[in-house]
């Protein structure tokens, strides 16, 4: 009976899991047992050590009370200490019995016997001290304590300390034994794991060998199929997965041989049809490219014409802007001249007022002169008493004369200034009239330039629409040319792929031998018509090179021209060597 590969693998995994579970379970059980034993030892030893330490403490308390009893002379204190000592002695007796129960070795029992003997000796010494104290022999009691009771008490405490150290050493020995047991368990587990690994390695070697041999055979069969040898066949006796794999590979080889035979008969017609399609598409592509080139030349000329119109419109708009600016400047100049005329009129009026004021001042000076003259006459009549008044009148008269002369000079200057201001006002009025004429002339020029700009804009819009239509037609032609080129390239690629497929199929070796490989030679493809030379696109002027500068409306995204693919190498005529291979096939 032959097991299947899956059954072998599952059986191997099951055995491996069982062995691992056995080893791990054994190691875990031993480790758990050692842990439980270690915990029990620690608990027992802790109880013994705690009992011994309590026993030692109570013994020290009784020894201290005994010394206090000897030293004290108060009967009440002695009675209280005696009661405490009796209670402590009962506790010590209970601890001694408990320790005898806990002792589990001859060494412990022997040490407990020593402790009991030392306790008895200390109790006898204590009774003797009490007797001496009761007889009133205080000094003898103190001497007996130092000579007999204290050494007995120290010996008693020493036996308790030895027992405590004995328990600690026993605990260390027990723990060391548990540790040795754990180490033994680990060594056994490691040895079992090593043996298990060796067994696993041996089983894996056998299993891999049983898998590797049929895989090598399947690999060799697949290699022969990959090399094109489809003539192999063999009866497979294995009933497992590898037997099914080998039978499937041989079945695949037979099916592939039938498929190759059918493909050989189909590649001839494919190659012939693809050659005819490629030839027709090549001719159509040449004519379409010629049409696209003509449209590109027309579009370039329209772009140049549009650029010229746009430049003229831009220049007219700029001239209109400059004329409007000049009109504004002239208008502002006229307003300034008008303001200057008004200012000159105000200056003239102010000068006239100043002249009137000077006339008033001149009249005042004349009257002052007359008054001074009258004062001088009156002073002359007064004689010696009016001499000082005459001097003042003379000075006032002189001052009035100088004021009259100054007023006369100022009046002359004001008159001259008024004449000049009137002349300047007349000149400014003439300049204002001239500026008004200039503003009107500039306004007429601005209107004419605006009409020219509007006409240029309308012409540019019309030409832009024509240019857009030509561009759309050029885009569609380019897209058609690209599609034709792609179709031609696809047909040529199909033909070459058919040839390559025929060459690939020719590499297969069928069971029928060379007779099965023979196939009718494929008819030669029809010769291609000569390709029409593609005219080079005219070089556009720099003004028309940037599409963003056109005033025409933007073209829709769907109408953007597709990039014209470069003629693929597959579109070239097949070489003579390739045709020879096809014919030999």
In this prediction, residues 61-88 reach a mean pLDDT of 71
Indicate whether 212 pLDDT > 50: yes
In this prediction, residues 167-184 reach a mean pLDDT of 76
- Domain assignment present for 413: yes
The confidence score (pLDDT) of residue 3 equals: 58
In this prediction, residues 335-364 reach a mean pLDDT of 78
| Close Cβ partners of 44 (under 8 Å, ≥ 6 residues apart) | 102
Q: Which of 528, 26, 536, 95 is nearest to 280 (CA)?
A: 528
What percentage of the chain has pLDDT greater than the value 70?
77
Phi, psi (degrees; rounded to nearest 5) at 452 = -60, -40
C-alpha span between 549 and 475 (Å, rounded): 19
Residue 555 near residue 476, CB atoms below 8 Å:
no
Q: Do residues 197 and 51 both lie within one domain?
A: yes
C-alpha of 403 from chain center: 98
Domain range spanning residue 109? 5-219
- Domain assignment present for 227: no
Residue 582 near residue 497, CB atoms below 8 Å:
no
The confidence score (pLDDT) of residue 42 equals: 65
Q: How many domains does the chain have?
A: 2
Q: Do residues 487 and 387 both lie within one domain?
A: yes
Q: What is the pLDDT of residues 565-583, one digit of tens each?
A: 444 443 344 443 334 443 3
In this prediction, residues 288-299 reach a mean pLDDT of 77
Q: Which of 496, 528, 531, 503 is nearest to 517 (CA)?
A: 503
Q: What is the pLDDT of residues 95-147, one digit of tens each?
A: 778 777 776 677 777 877 888 788 788 878 877 777 877 777 777 877 887 78
Q: Do residues 63 and 24 both lie within one domain?
A: yes
Residue with tokens 């008819």: 523
Q: Do residues 363 and 479 both lie within one domain?
A: yes
Q: Do residues 478 and 548 both lie within one domain?
A: yes
Q: Do residues 135 and 259 both lie within one domain?
A: no
**Which ranges of 507-574 would DSSP assign to H, the alpha helix?**
514-517
Q: What is the DSSP string of 384-450?
A: GGGHHHHHHHHHHHHHHHHHHHHHHHHHHHHHHHHHHHHHHHHHHHHHHHHHHHHHHHHHHHHHHHH
Indicate whether 433 pLDDT > 60: yes
Would the pTM count as exceeding 0.85? no
Among the ranges given (189-198, 227-236, 411-420, 470-479), the one the predictor scored with the smallest mean pLDDT: 227-236
C-alpha span between 573 and 495 (Å, rounded): 11
Q: Do residues 191 and 316 both lie within one domain?
A: no
Confidence of residue 499 (pLDDT cuts 50, 70, 90): confident
The confidence score (pLDDT) of residue 152 equals: 82
The confidence score (pLDDT) of residue 475 equals: 79
C-alpha span between 470 and 299 (Å, rounded): 6
Q: Do residues 508 and 445 both lie within one domain?
A: yes
The confidence score (pLDDT) of residue 4 equals: 65
In this prediction, residues 259-281 reach a mean pLDDT of 75
Average pLDDT, the chain: 72
| Close Cβ partners of 236 (under 8 Å, ≥ 6 residues apart) | 243, 246, 247, 250
Q: Which of 153, 184, 219 is the last residue of a domain?
A: 219
C-alpha span between 418 and 425 (Å, rounded): 10
C-alpha span between 338 and 554 (Å, rounded): 51
In this prediction, residues 73-84 reach a mean pLDDT of 70
Among the ranges given (387-391, 454-458, 485-489, 549-553), the one the predictor scored with the smallest mean pLDDT: 549-553
Q: Do residues 206 and 250 both lie within one domain?
A: no
Q: Do residues 211 and 252 both lie within one domain?
A: no
Residue 152 is encoded by which pair of tokens? 């007995």
C-alpha span between 294 and 220 (Å, rounded): 64
The confidence score (pLDDT) of residue 247 equals: 76
CATH assignment at residue 252: 1.10.287.950
Q: Which of 161, 184, 219 is the last residue of a domain?
A: 219
Indicate whether 535 pLDDT > 50: no
C-alpha of 312 from chain center: 53
| Close Cβ partners of 67 (under 8 Å, ≥ 6 residues apart) | 145
- Domain assignment present for 228: no
C-alpha of 243 from chain center: 54
Among the ranges given (224-238, 309-323, 388-402, 435-449), the one the predictor scored with the smallest mean pLDDT: 224-238
Q: Do residues 443 and 552 both lie within one domain?
A: yes
Residue with tokens 């039938």: 258
In this prediction, residues 198-215 reach a mean pLDDT of 77
CATH assignment at residue 60: 1.20.120.30
- Domain assignment present for 237: no
Q: Do residues 97 and 171 both lie within one domain?
A: yes
The confidence score (pLDDT) of residue 546 equals: 39
């Amino acid at each position: 009976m032959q097991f299947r590969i899956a059954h072998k693998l599952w059986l191997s995994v099951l055995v491996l899991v069982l062995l691992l579970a056995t080893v791990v379970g054994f190691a875990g059980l031993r480790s758990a047992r050692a842990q439980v034993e270690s915990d029990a030892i620690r608990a027992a030893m802790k109880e013994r050590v705690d009992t011994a330490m309590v026993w030692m403490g109570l013994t020290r308390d009784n020894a201290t009370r005994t010394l206090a009893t000897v030293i004290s002379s108060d009967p009440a204190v002695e009675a209280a200490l005696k009661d405490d000592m009796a209670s402590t002695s009962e506790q010590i007796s209970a601890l001694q019995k408990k320790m005898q129960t806990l002792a589990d070795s001859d060494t412990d029992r022997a040490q407990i016997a020593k402790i009991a003997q030392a306790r008895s000796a200390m109790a006898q010494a204590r009774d003797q001290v009490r007797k001496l104290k009761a007889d009133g022999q205080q000094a003898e009691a103190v001497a007996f304590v130092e000579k007999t009771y204290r050494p007995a008490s120290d010996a008693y405490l020493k036996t308790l300390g030895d027992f405590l150290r004995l328990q600690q050493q026993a605990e260390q020995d027990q723990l060391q034994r548990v540790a040795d047991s754990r180490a033994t368990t680990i060594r056994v587990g490691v040895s079992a794991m090593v043996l298990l690994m060796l067994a696993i390695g041996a089983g894996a070697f056998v299993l891999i060998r049983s898998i590797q041999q049929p895989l090598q055979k399947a690999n060799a069969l697949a290699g022969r199929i990959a090399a094109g040898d489809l003539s192999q066949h063999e009866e497979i006796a294995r009933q497992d997965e590898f037997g099914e794999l080998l039978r499937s590979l041989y079945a695949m080889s037979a099916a592939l041989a039938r498929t190759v035979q059918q493909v050989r008969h189909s590649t001839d017609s494919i190659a012939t049809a693809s050659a005819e399609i490629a030839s027709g598409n090549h001719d159509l592509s040449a004519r379409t490219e010629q049409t696209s080139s003509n449209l590109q030349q027309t579009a370039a000329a329209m772009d140049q014409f549009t650029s010229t119109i746009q430049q003229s419109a831009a220049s007219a708009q700029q001239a209109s802007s400059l004329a409007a600016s000049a009109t504004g400047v002239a208008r502002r100049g006229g307003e300034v001249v008008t303001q200057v005329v008004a200012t000159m009129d105000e200056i003239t009026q102010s000068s006239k007022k100043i002249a009137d004021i000077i006339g008033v001042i001149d009249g005042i000076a004349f009257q002052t002169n007359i008054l001074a003259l009258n004062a001088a006459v009156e002073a002359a009549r007064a004689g010696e008493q009016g001499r000082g008044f005459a001097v003042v009148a003379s000075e006032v008269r002189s001052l009035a004369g100088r004021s009259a002369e100054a007023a006369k000079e100022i009046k002359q200057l004001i008159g001259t200034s008024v004449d000049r201001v009137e002349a300047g006002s007349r000149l400014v009025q003439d300049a204002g009239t001239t500026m008004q004429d200039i503003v009107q002339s500039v306004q007429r020029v601005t209107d004419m330039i605006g009409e020219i700009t509007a006409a240029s804009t309308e012409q540019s819009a019309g030409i832009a629409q024509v240019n857009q239509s030509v561009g759309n037609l050029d885009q569609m032609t380019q897209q058609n040319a690209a599609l034709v080129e792609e179709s031609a390239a696809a047909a040529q690629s199909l033909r070459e792929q058919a040839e390559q497929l025929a060459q690939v199929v020719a590499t297969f070796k069928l069971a029928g031998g060379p007779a099965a490989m023979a196939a009718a030679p494929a008819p030669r493809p029809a010769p291609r018509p000569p390709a029409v030379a593609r005219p080079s696109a005219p070089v556009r002027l720099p003004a028309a090179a940037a599409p963003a500068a056109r005033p025409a409306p933007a073209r829709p995204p769907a109408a953007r021209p597709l990039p014209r693919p470069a003629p693929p190498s597959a579109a070239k005529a097949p070489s003579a060597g390739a045709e020879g291979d096809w014919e030999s096939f």
